[in-house]
Amino acid sequence: MKTVLVTGGAGFIGSNLVRWILHHRDWRVVNLDALTYAGNLENLRDVEQDPRYVFVHGRIEDAQLVTRLLEEYAVEGIIHCAAESHVDRSILSAAPFYETNVRGTLVLLEAARAYGIKRFLHVSTDEVYGSLGPDDPPFTEESPLKPNSPYAASKAAADCMVRAFVHTYNMPAIIARCSNNYGPYQFPEKLIPLMITNALADEPLPVYGDGHQVRDWIYVEDHCRGLVAAYEQGVVGEVYNFGGRSERRNIDVVRAILQLLGKPESLIRHVPDRPGHDRRYAIDCTKAERELGWTPTVTFEEGLAWTVEWYLHNRAWIESVRSGEYRRYYEQQYSWRLQEGAQV
């Protein structure tokens, strides 16, 4: 049985990816996650007993730990999701983004190279391409990197390092760049889960500026399927864009959520805009469709309805995240092993 190391597997996309792999492939998954505020082991409660699943608490910047895991589990390849991922946090403080996204990626690349990894899928973002005007064509894999936020800059720097490792050391790496994901288990600081959870609590919905900024939205499972396709079939050194072909203005997304929940638009509050706010992202994913046989299958209306439904049925998850209780779940589950100083 092959083993893949998924970094950041306790986060939003990582946990959906780990679950997708365990359901659709006969692989062992080692999940290396630092459990920052965004990492939540409750996201994987339904698969944690699967004998093919191993959780390891640690940081990707820990070269010794990464090397030990690669060797101990005879890892075939890495799917690198771990990151500091929230633009607003990067505006408040860029340093953690440099540490995890840039230095952490370099540590992983060096460990993977020394070990002789067979596959390295770097999970990046469309935000490395910068912002589009209203009539510009969507980003392709050939679009120049013009990151605007500290988050996007850190991801672009990591992408460049991955590219350099392919070019210089023949590292068998591939880069995936995806648009905005939404779906179950997304931490409620990103637009869609924040608006759902605030609306459920009858709290104001903060819309930055005029709300006319545009994002392309992809249902997280479509992205996960694309990541596995890129891991299995992608050509080394290539970049693959993934998107949902669902460009929407933020204000329209927020209104759709209120409508699904039967809540009034009077909850919307226009607040001062995010500094340096990118106006529009849109992604051309025809290369992934042509070369990987992948296509997004979930329409935005369908996916948003499922997502709202998921949050409605998982109030306990929302409560534990909002109250910080989810951190205690981790401590209870793993405290005895932590006390022994062993990996979990």
Provide the annotated active-site residues.
Answer: 126-127, 151
* Per CB under 6 A, 190 contacts ligand TYD: yes
Report helix angle 250-261 to 191-200, nearest 10.
Answer: 30
- Using an 8 Å Cβ cutoff, are 138 and 282 in contact? yes
* Per CB under 6 A, 226 contacts ligand NAD: no
Q: Which amino acid is at 303?
A: G
160-165 long-range contacts, CB within 8 A, separation 24+? 161/102, 161/105, 161/106, 161/109, 162/105, 162/109, 162/120, 162/122, 163/237, 165/109, 165/113
Least distance CB 68 / ligand TYD (angstroms): 33
Stretch of 64-72, 75-83, 266-274, 313-321 contacting ligand NAD, by CB under 6 A: 75-83
Strand 214-219 with 180-182, pairing:
parallel
Q: Which of 104, 147, 183, 244 binds ligand NAD (CB under 6 A)?
A: 104
Per-residue x/- marks for ligand TYD, 301-340, CB under 6 A? ----------------------------------------
Counting every residue, how long is the chain?
344
The one of ligand NAD, ligand TYD, none whose footprint includes residue 215, by CB under 5 to 8 A per kind, is ligand TYD
**Dist. CA 39–CA 33, nearest whole Å:** 7
Stretch of 11-19, 200-208, 297-305, 317-325 contacting ligand NAD, by CB under 6 A: 11-19
Stretch of 10-18, 199-207, 260-268, 323-331 contacting ligand NAD, by CB under 6 A: 10-18
Q: Which of 3, 90, 100, 198 binds ligand NAD (CB under 6 A)?
A: 100
Give CA separation, 40 vs 45, 50, 258, 264, 330, in Å: 10, 17, 27, 31, 8
Least distance CB 264 / ligand NAD (angstroms): 28
Q: Which of 208, 310, 329, 334 binds ligand TYD (CB under 6 A)?
A: 208
Q: Is the dihedral of CA 284, 146, 126, 110 positive or negative?
A: positive
* Per CB under 6 A, 224 contacts ligand NAD: no
* Per CB under 6 A, 30 contacts ligand TYD: no
Least distance CB 38 / ligand TYD (angstroms): 12
Site of tokens 């998954």: 29
**Dist. CA 10–CA 32, nearest whole Å:** 8
Phi-psi region of 41 (alpha: psi -120 to 50; beta: other; left: phi over 0): alpha
Least distance CB 205 / ligand TYD (angstroms): 8
Q: Which of 81, 107, 128, 162 binds ligand NAD (CB under 6 A)?
A: 81
**Dist. CA 230–CA 341, nearest whole Å:** 36
Q: Which residues of the chain form contacts with ligand TYD (CB under 6 A)?
A: 87, 180, 190-191, 194, 206-208, 213, 215, 250, 274
Q: Which residues of the chain form contacts with ligand NAD (CB under 6 A)?
A: 7-8, 10-14, 32-36, 38-39, 59-61, 81-85, 100, 104, 123, 125, 155, 178, 180-181, 187
